[in-house]
Structure 1
Amino acid sequence: MDKIILFFRTTKKRYLLGIFIVIFVFTVYWVSGSGVPDIASTEVKYGEFITDIRTTGELQAHKNTVITVPREFRRSLQIIKLVEEGSIVKKGDFLVQFDTGEFEKQLEQKKNEMKNAEAEYQSLLANQESNMAQLKASLETQRYSHRQAEINLAQMKYEAQMKREQKEIEMKKADIALKQAEEKIKAQKIIDEADRKKAELKIKHAKLEVEKIEKLIKSCTITAPTPGLVVYEKIWGPTGRQKVKVGDTPWRGQGIISIPDLSIMQVKTKVNEVDISKVEKGQDVIIRLDSHPDAVYYGNVTEIANLARSEGRNDSKVKVFDVIVTIKESDKKLKPGMSATCQIITERIKNVLYIPLQSVFEKDGKTVVYVMNPGPEKRVVELGPKNSNYVVIKKGLKKGERVTLRDPTLRLEEIGKSPKQKIKKQPVNNNNFPDGIIIFND
């Protein structure tokens, strides 16, 4: 009997010890990773809620002067000197020098042609002057003969009829000879004038050719038409599109250098065809540079493409619309080609409650959150509009309440099956942004 009593007493002690161990283990687990103190939470926000569209793009200047190969070039010329990319230039500063060797040869040839034309013209004038002098001398001789014939005819007034008629014939011959001499001079003057004009045109054409070549040579040296930053353009080469360099022979009319005006910068971005109906000109935009994530800039949508284009390859089924965002601020950090993220503000809703998206869960077909009271308490809510980080709560929550940032039931349900769940980095409001615009701290 004593043995039986001892057995029951020992069994009771073991049972109590087991209960104590279970309570101890549960308490340690509750405090260390599954209890209320370890559940991150956030306060329900109240104020203006903003819906947005997040896009990526590239900076470009509002005004951009593109330097092209002169179209006067009949063939491609080699670049022999080039200003360094990234240089800040003033109006009139050197940019590009093309090879002028071929033009120099043409210029020498055209100058020789001009000199020959001028020499021929001078020779023509001398010949015309000599010929005209002979014609004028002949005219004077004919005038003298004509006057002599008049005198002879007058002396025949009282002579026999036959002699008078002979003198009259001589007089008529003198008249004809004088008129012919006069007409010959007139005709020769017309011929000489035409020959001079022809020679003058030849000289003029030669001079124009010389001036044309000189202009081409001058255009081989390109200077900055406006102040700004030098940015090399990409041209097609043996290995594909690459930035222009010394030794290249770009086509005429091809862009080789851009000089953007950095005083007004823009972001060229794209919006999916699904969201483009939400985008309008004038909408506020918040811009952040990938290279300077702490810097925040503000702008507006200023241009929206009328037609969609394929994203990436031409046969891509994804369609996007190009959108231009003009930045309000001017900053030396803003350079063409830099990557940027745009937050296009599509709607502002005043005086609403909103919480992080990560605080909302689906349970048994219902949308729920876990309210700290003081531990997590499940509550059904009705959702409103949402953005990339937050969602509006129409019903189910009050201002000032706190909701969990993760599902508090996952730890208990998944214990022994998965490692401890990591809580997503908590987004916080930045003073530079209105409520609802979220900036993640680094």
Structure 2
Amino acid sequence: MKNKSNKIWVILAVVAVVVVGGLILAKKNGWIGKEEATEVELSKAKRTDIIERVSASGKVQPEIEVKLSPDVSGEIVGLYVSEGDSVVAGQLLLKIRPDNYESLLARAEAQVNSAKASLEQSKAIQSQSEARLLKAKTDFDRNKKLHDDKVISDSDYEQFSSQYSVAKQDLESAKANVQAAAFNVRSSEAALKEARTNLTKTTIYAPQSGTISKLNVELGERVVGTSQMAGTELLRIANLNKMEVRVNVNENDITRVSLNDTVIIDVDSYSASGRKFKGIVYEVASSANGLATSSAAASVSNDAVTEFEVKIRVLRSSYADLIKGKRSYPLKPGMTASVEIVTDRKNGVLSVPLAAVTTRDPKAANQEKKSEEESNNSEEPKVIKKEKLKEVVFVLTKDNHAKLKEVTTGISDFDNIEILSGLTEGEQIISGPYVTVSKKLKDGELVKKKEANKDNKEKK
């Protein structure tokens, strides 16, 4: 019985030695305990052409478009144009019923005549007052001499003196009445001028040549006109030979947009045919859209998007072949368009895929190790000082590890980004997957190339 139990123990000991030896050998050869490699996509730093663009969307509009509103109110009794008609400067467009304004003109003319008659009457009274003053002065001078010679009494002298004073006051009053009557004439003439002007405003002419791009009224419709503010919008006259696209550009991109930048325009109406139009930036807003200065508006949330309006002139030469017969204006106001503003262009520059560049704190790993050691040695660990994030790429080493390299970047397009320093041409870099490069991958981590058809095989 004893011999049997001893054999069992010997067998167990031999098995244990074999297992331990096998584990040691497997670990030594890397069969077990081996670090798992992260699958990544690889690219090379190479030279290519980069065109930096700013994308935006907006509406096609005429460069010059005039909105017409009436200065007087009334009923439209004559409408001589239709939407889409071509007009020339000075052409009669429409007419508002003039009856009321003709009556006001006649009343103003009567008031002018009445004011002029009053002026003449005041002048006649002034002449009479001058004559009475002259007689009163003569009587006063004669009786003053008689009073001095003691011929007449004091009461008689005072009577002539009083009449002389009254005559002078009457003359001053008559002169003031003449002046007031003259002012009344001026006021009446101004009212007459206004009435005459209002009558002329019932007939509306084209202020410029162009096309009726929008007609908002019909014959017989009543419109509201005010001289202080815009009344009813009657119609719009646009020069459809000069079209533009107005887009809003985010504040992060507006600093890269300059006057005369080349623009590629994609109008939705022509997207199906793949037609593109060319343009140039001719105006960039100096202030943001809807910029307000009041304290209430200043308290708007910082999350609000700040945008600037950019005007892009569509080059007529880019759609000259579309102008045929009745189709004189292939671009219509209000069409939706997407634009790509070419802000910079460089040929043959060192570049990598855009997804390969990310941001890291190069000192973060060392700081984490130090903080762990300090936390083991002391109860209160020191606060880690965060460094400014820097642009980096991960380079593939010969032993298949990811090496962190700091780089300086330049312009970029939707695919590639320029490398100004930090890499040399031909270096193999890790370009994906995006989440791996941007968040997960660490310096020194073991990596392996992702199989190109792995995803396709899984789908099958």
Q: TM-score with structure 1 length normalisation?
A: 0.52
Alignment of 1:4-403 (within 5 A): 48-70=49-71, 77-82=74-79, 83-129=81-127, 142=139, 146=142, 168-170=150-152, 183=165, 185-232=167-214, 243-246=216-219, 247-250=221-224, 252=226, 253-254=229-230, 256=233, 257-262=235-240, 264-271=242-249, 279-292=257-270, 294=275, 296-300=277-281, 302-304=283-285, 306-307=287-288, 319=305, 321-327=307-313, 329-330=315-316, 333-351=330-348, 387=413
Q: Are the aligned partners of 1:117 and 1:202 in contact in 2 as well (CA < 8 Å)?
A: yes
State the Cα deviation string for residues 60-108 of structure 1 (Å, max 9, x = none). Answer: 23444443443xx5xx545444543333333323345344443333333
Amino acid at match of 1:284: T
Deviation at 1:354, TM superposition (A): 10
Q: Are the aligned partners of 1:285 and 1:298 in contact in 2 as well (CA < 8 Å)?
A: yes
Moved more, 269-278 or 82-91: 269-278
2:284 match: secondary structure: strand
Q: Are the aligned partners of 2:262 and 2:278 in contact in 1 as well (CA < 8 Å)?
A: no
Residues of 1 paired with 2:48 and 2:343: CA distance?
17
After superposition, the Cα gap between the structure-2 partners of 1:92 and 1:127, relative to the gap in structure 1 and judged at 3 Å, is same
Residues of 2 paired with 1:259 and 1:166: CA distance?
88
Q: Are the aligned partners of 1:266 and 1:324 in contact in 2 as well (CA < 8 Å)?
A: no
Q: Are the aligned partners of 1:48 and 1:352 in contact in 2 as well (CA < 8 Å)?
A: yes
- Structure 2 unaligned residues grouped into runs of 5+: 1-45, 292-299, 318-328, 355-408, 419-424, 429-451
Residues of 2 paired with 1:300 and 1:146: CA distance?
93
1:214 match: secondary structure: helix
Q: Are the aligned partners of 1:51 and 1:348 in contact in 2 as well (CA < 8 Å)?
A: yes
Percent identity reads 20
State the Cα deviation string for residues 208-264 of structure 1 (Å, max 9, x = none). Answer: 21222222222333333333333338xxxxxxxxx4555253463227244445565
- Structure 1 unaligned residues grouped into runs of 5+: 1-44, 154-164, 234-242, 358-383, 398-406, 416-442
Residues of 1 paired with 2:149 and 2:142: CA distance?
11
State the Cα deviation string for residues 387-424 of structure 1 (Å, max 9, x = none). Answer: 56x66898699xxxxxxxxx888888766xxxxxxxxx
Q: Are the aligned partners of 1:232 and 1:244 in contact in 2 as well (CA < 8 Å)?
A: no
After superposition, the Cα gap between the structure-2 partners of 1:353 and 1:79, relative to the gap in structure 1 and judged at 3 Å, is farther
State the Cα deviation string for residues 112-131 of structure 1 (Å, max 9, x = none). Answer: 33333333334444455556
After superposition, the Cα gap between the structure-2 partners of 1:50 and 1:244, relative to the gap in structure 1 and judged at 3 Å, is farther
Q: TM-score with structure 2 length normalisation?
A: 0.50
Residues of 2 paired with 1:205 and 1:130: CA distance?
26
RMSD over equivalenced CA pairs, Å: 5.1
Give 1:15's aligned residue. Answer: none
Aligned length: 305
Residues of 2 paired with 1:63 and 1:166: CA distance?
89
Residues of 2 paired with 1:167 and 1:275: CA distance?
106
Amino acid at match of 1:286: I
Deviation at 1:275, TM superposition (A): 5.3
Q: Are the aligned partners of 2:250 and 2:305 in contact in 1 as well (CA < 8 Å)?
A: yes
Deviation at 1:336, TM superposition (A): 3.3
Deviation at 1:57, TM superposition (A): 1.8
After superposition, the Cα gap between the structure-2 partners of 1:120 and 1:338, relative to the gap in structure 1 and judged at 3 Å, is same
Deviation at 1:296, TM superposition (A): 2.4
The structure with the largest alpha-carbon Rg is 1
Deviation at 1:197, TM superposition (A): 1.7
Deviation at 1:181, TM superposition (A): 6.0
After superposition, the Cα gap between the structure-2 partners of 1:168 and 1:349, relative to the gap in structure 1 and judged at 3 Å, is closer
Q: Are the aligned partners of 1:47 and 1:351 in contact in 2 as well (CA < 8 Å)?
A: yes
2:68 match: secondary structure: strand
Q: Are the aligned partners of 1:287 and 1:299 in contact in 2 as well (CA < 8 Å)?
A: no
Deviation at 1:342, TM superposition (A): 1.1
